[in-house]
């Protein structure tokens, strides 16, 4: 009995060992370390960030057009307009934007053109099924449609053909190798051609649209260069820019009040001469509007002996020599005033010497006629000026005047780069 029992036990254990799964070795799996700087696509933060971007996009899409259209006089609308003006002055940016819009429009229409052809195939209409543009394209490529789901050109070939058709229709009248056959295709082709009329004349349209804008930016640049060269103070600069932006005006179109302030700044050096010390501010403002600039190159004669002298000069920079019978009478430089005292009415003053430039010279000048006109408005100063001008001339060019020692005026360095001249010769 015991032997039989032992045999059964051995047999049973062998059967169990045959069907028992083999034991696997134990592996320790290390946990993956995730960097805290990596944003997972399914994380809560990423989802919240996407919603925030979406809300911001809707906000900009709603508020910007509203502000431009309905709140154009506000600061935000003005700022946006100035930004657009700033960017639109660059022709390369404008051309790039136009090309991008044109390509995007052609892409959209190519997609619509493909959908129309696809709908003609899916309609199973015996009249239009075999003449649609997609079926014609498939026949040329030897891949015609067998039914609504089988055959036909590949998606890349169909898209390229669609884009080719829309671009050729927008820029011209097409070439006929991809053409509209069904009613739906013809109606869509007409719409493309109408849009193409606008793009076909885009050069002329852009030129008309930006002609005044280009003129505006050119004049604005000239005005800013003028301000920079003459180093106008910030307050005066701001007034000029604001007036120009409001009226698109040039300097000579500025009102007299603003022009006088500008002229006072440009001509402040000459107006600080001793001869003008007793002049009122109103008189100085009127004089400044009549002061003009002149330039003289080396070797050029500014005044010839015996000329009629109608203008008096103020030297801003450079050197000149006064010649009489070939003999140098005086050397004039920065800050010197040359000309003659005020003549009597209808009296013609003849010069007694030549004035020749030794270097490049910047001059300011005012005509005797303009000077008389201003002094006529201020008679209380006119008498004083007539008596002082003779004493303040560095060299008197009136014929018959007695030679005298050159007078020099105290001079401080000019703050302005470009000088202007005081008295000139007609």
Instruction: Note the pLDDT tens digit of each residue in 399-410.
Output: 666 554 444 444
Output the CA angle 372-374-378, nearest 5 degrees: 105
In angstroms, the Cα distances linking 151 to 22, 147, 154, 213, 372 are: 55, 7, 9, 55, 97
Tokens 């136009």, located at residue: 98
Beta pairing class for 292-296 and 421-422: unpaired
Q: What is the mean pLDDT of residues 122-136?
A: 78
Q: pLDDT band at 26, cuts 50/70/90?
A: low
pLDDT, tens digit (0-9, with 9 covering 90-100), for 299-328:
889 989 888 888 889 998 899 999 988 899
Q: What is the mean pLDDT of residues 155-175?
A: 83
Q: Kindly calculate the radius of gyration of the chain based on its CA atoms and give it in whole angstroms.
A: 45
Percent of the chain exceeding pLDDT 90 equals 4
Nearest to 164 by CA among 320, 251, 153: 153
**DSSP state string for 161-174:** HHHHHHHHHHHSS-
Q: What is the mean pLDDT of residues 27-51?
A: 66
Q: Which domains does the chain have, with CATH numbers?
A: 92-200 (1.10.287), 204-254 (no CATH), 270-422 (2.60.120.10)
pTM recorded for the entire structure: 0.43
The structure tokens listed for 74 are 């506000």
pLDDT, tens digit (0-9, with 9 covering 90-100), for 237-257:
887 887 777 666 555 567 778
DSSP 341: P
- How far is Cα 188 from Cα 122, in angstroms, rounded to an integer? 18
Q: Is 361 helix (H, G, I), strand (E, B) or coil?
A: strand
379 vs 3, which has greater pLDDT? 379
User: Phi then psi for 306, rounded to 5 degrees?
Assistant: 95, -5
Task: Please give the pLDDT value at position 419.
Answer: 34
Q: What is the mean pLDDT of residues 336-343?
A: 84
70 vs 389, which has greater pLDDT? 389
User: Residue 348 pLDDT more than 50?
Assistant: yes
Per-chain mean pLDDT for the chain: 75
Output the CA angle 359-362-364, nearest 5 degrees: 140
300 vs 74, which has greater pLDDT? 300
Q: For residue 56, with 0-12 CB atoms within 10 Å meaning exposed, 13-18 middle and 19 or more buried, which class applies? A: exposed
Reported for 177-185, long-range contacts at CB under 8 A and 24+ positions apart, including other chains, are 178/133, 178/137, 179/133, 179/136, 180/133, 181/128, 181/131, 181/132, 181/133, 181/136, 182/120, 182/128, 182/131, 182/132, 184/116, 184/119, 184/120, 185/113, 185/116, 185/117, 185/120, 185/132, 185/133
User: Residue 158 pLDDT more than 70?
Assistant: yes
Q: Of the segments 38-47, 59-68, 74-83, 297-306, which one has the largest average pLDDT value?
A: 297-306
User: Residue 210 pLDDT more than 90?
Assistant: no
- How far is Cα 241 from Cα 26, in angstroms, rounded to an integer? 83
User: Phi then psi for 150, rounded to 5 degrees?
Assistant: -115, 145
């Amino acid at each position: 009995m015991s032997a039989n029992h032992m045999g059964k036990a051995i047999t049973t254990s062998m059967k169990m060992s045959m069907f028992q799964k083999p034991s696997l070795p134990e592996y320790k799996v290390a946990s993956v370390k995730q960097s805290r700087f990596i944003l997972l696509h399914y994380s809560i933060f990423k989802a919240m960030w996407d919603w925030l971007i979406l809300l911001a996009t809707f906000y900009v899409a709603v508020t910007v057009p509203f502000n431009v259209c309905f709140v154009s006089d506000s600061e935000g609308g003005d700022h946006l307009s100035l930004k657009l003006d700033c960017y639109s002055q660059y022709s390369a940016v404008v051309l790039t934007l136009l090309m991008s819009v044109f390509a995007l429009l052609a892409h959209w229409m190519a997609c619509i053109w493909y959908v129309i052809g696809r709908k003609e195939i899916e309609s199973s209409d015996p009249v239009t099924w075999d003449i649609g543009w997609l079926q014609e394209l498939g026949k040329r490529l030897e891949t015609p449609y067998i039914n609504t789901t089988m055959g036909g050109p590949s998606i890349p070939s169909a898209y390229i053909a669609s884009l080719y058709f829309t671009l050729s229709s927008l820029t011209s009248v097409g070439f006929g190798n991809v053409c509209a056959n069904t009613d739906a295709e013809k109606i869509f082709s007409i719409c493309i051609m109408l849009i193409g009329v606008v793009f076909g004349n885009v050069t002329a349209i852009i030129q008309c649209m930006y002609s005044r804008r280009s003129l505006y930016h050119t004049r604005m640049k000239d005005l800013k260069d003028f301000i920079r060269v003459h180093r106008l103070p910030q307050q005066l600069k701001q007034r000029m820019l604001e007036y120009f932006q409001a009226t698109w005006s040039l300097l000579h179109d500025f009102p007299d009040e603003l022009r006088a302030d500008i002229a006072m700044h440009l001509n402040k050096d000459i107006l600080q001469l001793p001869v003008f010390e007793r002049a009122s501010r109103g008189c100085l403002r009127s004089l400044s509007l009549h002061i003009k600039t002149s330039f003289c190159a080396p070797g050029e004669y500014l005044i010839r002996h015996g000329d009629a002298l109608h203008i008096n000069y103020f030297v801003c920079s450079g050197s000149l020599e006064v010649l009489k019978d070939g003999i140098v009478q005086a050397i004039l430089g920065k800050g010197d005033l040359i000309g003659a005292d005020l003549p009597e009415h209808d009296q013609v003053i003849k010069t007694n010497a030549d004035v020749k430039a030794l270097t490049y010279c910047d001059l300011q000048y005012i005509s005797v006629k303009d000077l008389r006109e201003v002094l006529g408005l201020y008679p209380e100063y006119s008498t004083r000026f007539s008596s002082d001008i003779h004493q303040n001339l560095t060299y008197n060019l009136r014929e018959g005047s007695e030679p005298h020692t050159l007078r020099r005026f105290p001079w401080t360095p000019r703050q302005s780069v470009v000088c202007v001249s005081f008295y000139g010769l007609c």
